[in-house]
Each structure stands twice: as C-alpha cells, then as structure tokens.
Structure 1
Amino acid sequence: MDEIFLKNMMALYKAALYELVVNPDEQDVRQKWLKTISDILKSEKFHFLDRNLMQTVSNEQQEEIERLFEKKRWVQRDILDVSRCYSEYSFGVQFLCKHEVYGCLFVKTPLEEKITERFLKEFTEESNRFFQHYAFVASVSKEDRFYKELFQATKRFHSSMNIECVLNEMVDTLKRVFPHYFYSLNLTIDKNDIELPVYLFEIENTRSMAMEAYVSGEVKVEHLTQANKSVLYVPIKGKQGVYGLLKVDCPPFQLNNERIEFIRLLVETGGSALENAKLYQQSRRFIADLQLINETSRQLNSNLRFSDTILFLQSKILSSFGASACGFIFIEKDGYKVLEGSSPIFLDESGKMYISYVGKRMEEEKDSIFIGDIARKITDRKFPYRSLMAVPMFESDMLKGFCIVLKDSAYGFTFDMYKLLQSLIYHSTLALTNSLLREELERLVITDYLTNLYSRNYLESKMSESLQNDEQGSFLLIDIDDFKKINDTYGHQVGDEVIVQVAKIIQSVSGQKGIAARWGGEELSIYFPHLTVNETEKLSQRIVVEVEEKTNPKVTVSCGMSRWYKGSGEDVESLFKKADQALYVSKATGKNKMTISYHSENDSKMPFS
C-alpha cells in the first residue's frame, strides 16, 4: 500500500512540474513549486536555501550542509537526528543544476514514516530535471529581455544631448529590469537639479571599494555583512575619463554574473552618451562664455563712469551665475573699501565676515578661492550664504582688491562658473583701474589738493551753467580773518591745517545744497544754486559761528554774499565783485560777520525769500 501511495504522490509531483514548465511564470515559479511540495507532502514546515541564500548563512550551517550531503543528495531522519541545525526536519534534499548545487530543501512532514529512499532518489532526479529546464528557459528569456532593454536604452541615450535625460534613462531602465534594487549616482561632474538620487563624488568621504572602482574604471562588488546587503559600484565612464559611479544596493548575494554584466554594459553605454552630452553642453557654454566676455569687454572699454562699471559687472555676474550677492573690495592702508555698486550685504556685519576671511587669504595666498560650503570649512560662525567664489584683482603684479560672489545654497556654483569668473575679473581689472584712474585725474583737475574742495575754475564753470539754466542763486565769498598772524605765530604748516579745518566746516554746512571751492590763498567760496537770500544767509551765519567754535587754533571768518535772479543781467565776474565788496565791508566793520551786497539798481526787485 505504501508503495502505491508513493507512486501516486510522485505522479502528482511530476504532473505539477509539467504544468510549471508548460506555463512558466518567472516571477513566482519558485513559490508555486514550493507550494506544490507542501500540498503533496502535507508538510508542516519546510526550509529552502537557494545558492544565493546558502552564501549568507553562518559558517557553522555551511559546514553542516556540506557534511549532510557529502555522500548522497538526500538524507533522512536517521542522519538528521544528529544534525545541530536541521534535526527537526523529516528529510533533506540537495538539488543540482548544470552540475552545480542549486539549493537545499528541508521538509517536516507527517508522512515521514512512508518516505523511502527510492522515493527521495526519484524526487531528487525529477526536481533536478525541472531546475535544469527552468534555468535554461529563464536564462534565454532573461538574456533576450536584457538585450531588448539595452538596445532600447542605447537608442534613447543617443537621441538626447541632455545630461539629465541620459542619467534618468539609465536609472529608469535599471528600475524596470531590477525593480527591487536601490540606485544612486555619485558624480564628479556638476550635478543638475533632477529628480534622481545624485550626490557629489567626494574623495574624502568615499568608501575604499568605491574609490577602487573609480580609480581602476572596473566594476567592484562589496558584501556588507552587518548591513545585510551587497553593493555594486559601476564606473560611469567615457573615452576621456570617469565621471562618477553608479551605486546599486541589493539583498545579499543576488548579483550574479549575468546581472552584473548587463548593468555594466548599460552604464558603459550611458557613460559614452553622457560624455557626448557633456561635450555638447560644454561647447554651448563656451560660446556663451565668450559672448559674455566680449560683451563685458566692449562695455568696459566704452568709457563708463567707475560706479557704472561696477554696477554693470555686478548685474552680469548676478545674472550669469545665479548669484545672491556680488561685491568689489579695494585694499587700502587702513582696511578694506567696499566699492559703490556692490551688493548691500557687504556693508553690514555679515558681509564684513566674508570680506575679512577672503581678504586675509588673498593677502597671504594671492590666489582665487572656490568654496562649495563655507559652513563646513568655518564652523565657529554662522554664514548666511554657503557658496563662495573670490577672485583677486591685480595691477602690475600688485594686489589691488578682490571680487566676492556668494550664493545662499551650498554647492551653488560649478567649477566652470569659477573659471569664467576668473576670466571676467582678469579682463575687467584693467578697465576698472583705468576708469578709477581717469576719474581720479578728473577729480584732481577740478579739486584743490589741500582742502579737497573744488577748484575755482570748476566753480566758475558751474556758476556759468546755473546762470543760464536756473531761476536764482547766491555766491558766498569767505576769508579767514588775520590769517597772516596765524602763519607768523604758528608757521605755515599750522596755517594750512587751519584752512583745512575751515574747508571741512564749509563742506559740512553746505552739504548737497552748495558747491564749495577754494577761491585762492585763505579765501574760500560757496555757490548755492536755487537757494533764496534768506536760506543762504542762514547757512552763512552757521559757518561764521561754527568756525569760531570748532577751529584750533581759534580763527574767525568774514563773509560777503551776492545774489542774482533771472533777468538781473549778472555774470560770474559781477557776482564775484559784489561778494568781494560785501566781504570788504565785513572786514572793515569788525570782522567775524557776514554782509549781503545791495549794490544793484535792481535790488528792490529781488526776491528775498
């Protein structure tokens, strides 16, 4: 009876295997096979180890399996009873496929007493035949699918000149073929804002096996026992170099040679396409960079004012690099000067931190600075902007200053941007220096060297313009009282210092309302366009009071004022003569006062307020 029962069971098993072969389902064929065994043998418990899982078990279990199947491909209770790991099972079977161990199955069944060695032998042989057929069909099907996916991916790779599209296609193909693996890209090229797990390839933070794959350009596999996973590192390379790594995380020991080879071919093809896309984008960027440099050079050579030059450069840098702030800093004897037109941040405390850090390095190293994340470099201070580029400005091998460019996010600038900024500043420094020198020469021509007030010629030209275009104006002539006594008592150097003190008071009082100049010797002057007589008189009285209060040694001034209105027929010479006559009256009547000229026949018609 037992023999007939076993024959019927074997017939059912063969029929079930035939059904699996005729209607294969690659995704769950193994589960169906195990369920078939469970149903036929009414198993209470079973444990199946395929060749991948067999590599993950402990050394003790591996040695136990080798010992159990040392003589035969099946074992029964009499041998399992003395097993340290599998004593609870009724029998165990080791399967072969293509002369290699495919796996081991241990079964606990209530039919244990009926199972014979003959049944186990036939069960093992039928199972081996099934596995050989299944492995052949699966390998042909898998190989066919691999090549189809590789062909389609290759077509899509080379139909695009966009790095983002190439990387997306690479990862999407892998996800279709191996959906249960995890993929990440570690790139040495500038990463784009793409919906992929992309990381910057950092040498100091890279695992040794990954670095070995990057340096050698060969695929490397790492089995991480504690993390219970295997990691595949595939170099993304073209003819000109390696651009990073594809990292594949998967369950332990699932990466067989076929899978590794498919991933390698796919990534190698993607690497070539990525290199072509990178070269194409570089050529386009190179053309755009040349256009930017040419446009900048043309504008800088068009005799712009210095402040306009800074504003132009700042706008180009902010727009071209997507920067958050840009500053131009000159090095002076007593510190750093932020040039007009720089971003406002460089005038506050946070901006001064960047200036201090960059300035110190510039003066020591005299070289450009490129920092992806300044917060990682300087941890004791909080920086509102994380990315930093800084380029020195040289004139005749002398460090004149530097340009700082900032972005709020870390790693916001690419290395290509850094090189472009270097080129821009190199081409711009001479134009900036020339513009500054030109304005300095212009300032020297129209400025008195001692007082920094305007020269008499400049003031007369401005008065002439006002007489032609404005409705009214006032001219104030100022003379330091008893100036010869100052020179005789204290010397000419102190006399010059007194003139400078009075000049600063005049500048402070007149502000933006008047044009202050040194008329000659100890005589100073102010022209007030637009102001009424009363407004000018109040300001002149302030000058008289402040000079007496604030000079050291103490001096006083006498003032004479003339004025004009539209239709009065005055010119520069007549205004000077009248102011000079009024000044003479101030001197003759006690000094330290201001006198208004009333010597025009039209005075009765003049507006006094």
Structure 2
Amino acid sequence: MIDEKTIQIKLQLINYELLMTTSPMSENLYEKLSYQISGLLESSFLVIYLFDQWTNSFFLKTKNIQQNRILLNQMIYDPTLTYRRAIADEQKLRINDNDLFTVSSSHMNYQLIPLKPTNGPIGMMVVGMENGSAISEGIQQVIRKEVELLLDYIYIIEQRDKNEKKNQVLFDMISHFLNLKTKTEIFTEIITALKKVYPNFDFYLHLSQEYEKNTDLPVKLLEIRNDVQSSSSTAFLTAEIQIENQLDANMTYVYAPLAGQQGVYGVLQIIIPKLLDIPKAEVDYISRFANAAGKAIESTTLYLNSKHLVSDLTMINDLIHQLNSNLNLTEITKIIRNQITLLCAPEEIGFVYNIQENTRLFETLEGSTAFFDTVEGKGFIKYLLGEVELQQEAIFSGEFKLKSEDIPFRSIMAIPMENSGSINGLVIILHRKPYAFSFEQYKLLQSILRHSTLAFINTILKEKLQKAASTDYLTQLFSRNYLDKKIVEHMKNGEYGTLILFDIDDFKKVNDTYGHYIGDEVIKQVAEIIMSTIEDRDIPARWGGEELAVYLPNTEIDEAVQVARNIGDQVESFTEPRVTLSAGVSSWSNKRKVTPKSFFIHADKALYEAKGFGKNCVVRYSVDENTDELIRE
C-alpha cells in the first residue's frame, strides 16, 4: 500500500479537482469523492455519513452503495447521541452492525474513520476492505485530515447559500410589509415566511394586544401571570430570546420577542419536534427575524391607532354636539346607549344615577335594559357601586366571577360618571361571553362617558328644576300653572278631554280639630289615592288649598265621572282622619267650541253645586248642542 505522504498529495489533488469540476452544493460531489478515495485505497466500498442535528441522525451522503451483496442503511438514527458524542469526544468509534448495515458480509472487514471538521456537522467514513486487509492508523489520520478540510469548505459554501436564501426570505418579508395595512396581513406574511425557512416546525404568535380572532392563523393572546413565570412571559418582559427543552415531550421551544422601537408587542414561539442545541447563528437569525416582525407590527399598530384616534375624536365630537343640543334625559340616554351598542354589542346596559354616598341609594334611568329592574340586577348594581367606591376606579373584567351570587355575566365594564371629584352615576355594560370587550373599547367608552357626564348632569339638574317649578311641594302633584298649560296645549291639538275638580269636605274642621300638620297629611293622603287610581297619561294637580284636580285627555265625561266616584270611595275608606270629597266634572270637545276659561268655569261651577247638594258627591256639567245643565251623579 502506498505511503502516507503519497496518500496526502493524491487526496489534495482529488479535492482540488473536485472543487474545480463539481459544485460544492451537488450531491455528486460526495459520490465522486468516495469513488476516488475508494480507488486510492483499493477498498471494496467507501461511504460518508454526516450528522443532522435536527433529526439526531447520520445520513448517507454517498448514495446507491451496494457492492458484494453489502447494503448500507441510508440513515443511522442516534437518539441517545452515543455515536455523535464518541466522535465529538475523540473516543473509539464503534457502530452497531444493525444500525449500519441492512445486508452485511462476514467476508468483509470494515473500518470507521471519524470526521470532525472545524465547521459544520460531524460525520464518519465507512471503508470496506476484503481479505482481512486494513488501513493503517497513520493513513486514516491523513484521510481524515484532508476530508475534514474539504467538508469545512463545503459547509462554508452551503451555509453561505442557506444564509442567502434565508436572508432573501427576510428581505422579501420586510419588502412586503411596506404594502400591508392590517395586522392580519402582517401576521399572514410572518407565518408564510417562517414556513419557507423552517418547513418542519410549528409556530405561534403570542400577542400582547387584541387581534382579529376569526382567522385560521396560529395567533394567541399572550398571558402573563404573576404566579407562573413562563418562558414566553420571560421573553416578553426581558426582550431576550428564551430556549426551553422539554425532555418529556422530546421538543425544543424557542421564544423570540417581537420587539419594535417603542416596546415589545408579543412573542414568536417556534416549536421544534426534537431536543437539540440550536446553533448561535440560527439563534441570531431568529432574533433578526422576530425584530423585523415586531417593527412591522408596531408600525401597523401605530398606523391603525392613528386612524382610530381620528375616527374616535370625530365620533366623540359629533356625540358631544348632539348631547349639547338641548335634549332631555331620555334622549341623551338613548344616544349613549346606541353608541355603546354600536361599539361593543353588549347584552345588558344599565344607567345608574343619583347615587347617595354611604347609603348606596340610586336611581336606574330609563334606557337601562330589563335585567337592572330585577331584584338580582339591583343587587348587582349595589355590589358594583361598592367595588367602584372601594377601588376608586372603573371595573373592567373579561372573566368575572362572584362567589356570593350566581351572576351569568363574564364580561363586565362598570364605568363611573365623575364630576368635581364625586361619582354621580355609573354605566354598567355586561355580556355572558368571556372577554367579549376589548381594552380599546373600554378606553374609548371611558372617554365617551367622561365627555358625556357634564351633559348628563346638566340635563338632570335642568329636569329637576323644571319638575320643582311644575310640582307642588306638599303633594308632589303638578302645580296649577302646569295643569293649565297642559290643558290649553291639549285643547289646541286634541279632540276631547275631561277635568275633575275635588274639594275636601269640611277641611277647616279638620284643621281646627287636629291642627294644620294633620290637615297637610290628609291632603297628602288624598293626593296619593288620586295618583294610584289614575292612568299614566292623566295629569293630577293641586288646584289650590284643599282643592285637587285631574285632567283626563281623550276621556269621555261618563268615564271621568266613574273615576271621580272611585277616588271619592277610596278617600272615604282609607283616609285617617276620615274625610270625604266633593267633585265637579266638565268636558270639552272640538265638535263644540269651548274656551279653556269656560272649561275651567264649568268644572268649578259643578264643584260648587256638589257642595250645595250636601257634599260627598259628584256633579257633572253636561254640554249638548242646545243646553247646559248640572247633573248630580
């Protein structure tokens, strides 16, 4: 056999010729190299295996080796890394025949030459020799040295090509970002690029902000918990890549922060279906990839936020303009409710006002949904009021649970309406579905209600003043002026109506016997009976002193007489001290011209006649086309 020096020179010539005639990226290079060295050593066969760390296997680079009925395995699986460590640690390399051969020969002597190039994967050369011949240790070292030099060069060329391809994917992705305007488009581009670079891995984007959920993209909301410090949350909080090997699952997880110039917007999770040590160059590439993705997410987020901000400001400006256009409380509540419904489509909306400090007494405004009129709803309002007062801030929860009561709502926003440092009201927004409301919706509603609170307060105060001006302080019935105004308005626009005037019989005797305080209490009792008997459309008023009145729009006189009788019977039965009423009833119709003044005079005349008939009775002033007459009922 030729000497070591000659072997070295010839190997160098073989390597040079191969590199000049064959592309380092060509599979034929390993075929030619193996064939040339095998001929040089006069061996029966010679093959090269290289280790793939992604699969923990040695792959046969020299294909179609089947000589002298010997068949080598295309892959040697090394799950425990026994063979790899032996090569790396310069130990004696021994391969199990079953791992190496599919078909072997007892007449063939084979030798293993470990390959440990400076760069690139380790490997081994398998040389088959017949007739008991063997390759000396010195020649093995020469072969190993020259082949390792060639593998170093091939690896550098391969890595340069791979890096060019990966960098091209990264460049293309960044270029495409310039034309994308939505987050969904950005996420799609990121996942598409990842699949090109790592086709055998799985990926998730864990995002710190709300995202479009009705897509098939592998996107999740990032969860950061105080009790558990996961690799994902660590990557997000430290803005550094985290690598986690899970031995029981035989997987490697990479968590790369999606960082922009102003912050971290989430974490890219790469799932590798093997346990492996990721090369530093690969980690650096993943970091560059994640940073590019993070900047794109940031840019799109800022762009969308600016659009939303302009839209929100315009909407708030329009809303405030509407609220300041001299609306009543019902109209204001309706506008706010419609806006809330458009923004987040809740199942229940409650408007709570006139909150009394310490007592937690409140009013539920018209426009609130039915739930807040129930016992359960009112109890829930009291609970939320207590929490808002305790925390001195709004409540926003996507997974709400109340131990003491079975509340079916999981998504809750309870936003106070504050003015001059005190809580004047509370808007409660509910949904049974968890996380039904986004943080952006919550912040926008806070802004809307902050701008709306003054309009609420001013309107409520105005209506209270109007009510005070049109309401009798003692009885809480309407005032005489208010009643006159409403009757005049209805006589202009309506078709017919009836007026009942009541007078408490012998009221002076009540004052003289029991005192004026009890007299006032009797008037209040009569007023309460009147209000409980009439319908919502009817207008009760204090006419003056012990005289009370009810105007019944669109009501015939016969029906009004019956109402007067019912009120008189209840007053006689339920007042303490017991009193009775005299009543005069008059009506008007657009079929016969009756002025407001004559309408009032007719009712007053009928009441006077009722007093003259002996009191505790009803007299009506009947008007037909020919005569006017007083009739005792």
- Label 1:303 to 1:92 Cα distance change in 2 as closer, same or farther (>3 A): same
TM-score by length of 2: 0.80
Determine which of 249, 252, 263 is the counterpart of 2:286: 263
Contact 1:559 / 1:582 at 8 angstroms: preserved in 2? yes
Alignment of 1:47-196 (within 5 A): 48=76, 57=81, 65=86, 69-70=90-91, 94-98=114-118, 102-103=122-123, 114=132, 116-118=134-136, 121=140, 131-132=151-152, 135-193=155-213, 194-196=215-217
Give 2:255's aligned residue. 233
Determine which of 499, 518, 521 is the counterpart of 2:542: 518
Give 2:13's aligned residue. none
Cα separation, 1, equivalents of 2:131 and 2:96: 10
Give 2:11's aligned residue. none
Q: CA deviation at 1:406?
A: 2.9
Q: Does 2:323 match 1:300?
A: yes
Determine which of 338, 347, 357 is the counterpart of 1:315: 338
Cα separation, 2, equivalents of 1:586 and 1:169: 90
- Label 1:185 to 1:524 Cα distance change in 2 as closer, same or farther (>3 A): same
Which digits, 9 at most, give the CA deviation of each residue in 1:561-594, with x for residues without a partner? Answer: 1223335443233233332232233223332221
Which digits, 9 at most, give the CA deviation of each residue in 1:295-317, with x for residues without a partner? Answer: 11111111111110011011112
Which digits, 9 at most, give the CA deviation of each residue in 1:351-375, with x for residues without a partner? Answer: 4464233211112222122223214
More divergent stretch after superposition (305-314 vs 89-98)? 89-98
Give 1:441's aligned residue. 465
Q: Does 2:479 match 1:455?
A: yes
Which digits, 9 at most, give the CA deviation of each residue in 1:68-123, with x for residues without a partner? Answer: 953x556899xxxxxxxxxxx9976533233777146999x9x9995745599499
Alignment of 1:327-366 (within 5 A): 327-330=350-353, 331-332=355-356, 335-348=361-374, 351-352=377-378, 354-366=380-392
Cα separation, 2, equivalents of 1:40 and 1:143: 41
Give 2:101's aligned residue. none
- Label 1:468 to 1:220 Cα distance change in 2 as closer, same or farther (>3 A): closer
Q: Does 2:223 match 1:199?
A: no
Determine which of 398, 409, 428 is the counterpart of 1:404: 428
- Label 1:227 to 1:124 Cα distance change in 2 as closer, same or farther (>3 A): same
**Structure 1 unmatched runs, 5+:** 1-5, 21-25, 78-88
1:170 alignment partner AA = I
More contact order relative to length (CA 8 Å, sep ≥ 6): 1
Alignment of 1:541-556 (within 5 A): 541-556=565-580
Local SS of the residue matching 1:595: strand
Give 1:281's aligned residue. 304
C-alpha RMSD of the superposition: 3.9
Cα separation, 2, equivalents of 1:605 and 1:566: 19
- Label 1:322 to 1:475 Cα distance change in 2 as closer, same or farther (>3 A): closer
1:362 alignment partner AA = V
Give 1:253's aligned residue. 276
1:150 alignment partner AA = L
Local SS of the residue matching 2:367: coil
**Structure 2 unmatched runs, 5+:** 1-36, 98-108
Give 1:217's aligned residue. 239
Cα separation, 2, equivalents of 1:112 and 1:46: 22
Q: Does 2:349 match 1:326?
A: yes
Give 2:10's aligned residue. none
Contact 1:76 / 1:92 at 8 angstroms: preserved in 2? no
- Label 1:601 to 1:312 Cα distance change in 2 as closer, same or farther (>3 A): closer
Contact 1:327 / 1:346 at 8 angstroms: preserved in 2? yes
Local SS of the residue matching 1:564: strand
Cα separation, 1, equivalents of 2:586 and 2:38: 134
Give 2:100's aligned residue. none
Local SS of the residue matching 1:314: helix
Give 1:81's aligned residue. none
1:512 alignment partner AA = D
1:461 alignment partner AA = K
Cα separation, 1, equivalents of 2:498 and 2:68: 118
Local SS of the residue matching 1:226: coil
Which digits, 9 at most, give the CA deviation of each residue in 1:453-501, with x for residues without a partner? Answer: 1111111122222333333322211011122222233322222222112
1:556 alignment partner AA = T
Give 1:84's aligned residue. none
Q: Does 2:70 match 1:42?
A: yes
Which digits, 9 at most, give the CA deviation of each residue in 1:11-60, with x for residues without a partner? Answer: 6645x779x9xxxxx99x9655487568778369898367xx5xx55xxx
Cα separation, 2, equivalents of 1:477 and 1:181: 89
Count of matched residue pairs: 572
Contact 1:350 / 1:384 at 8 angstroms: preserved in 2? no
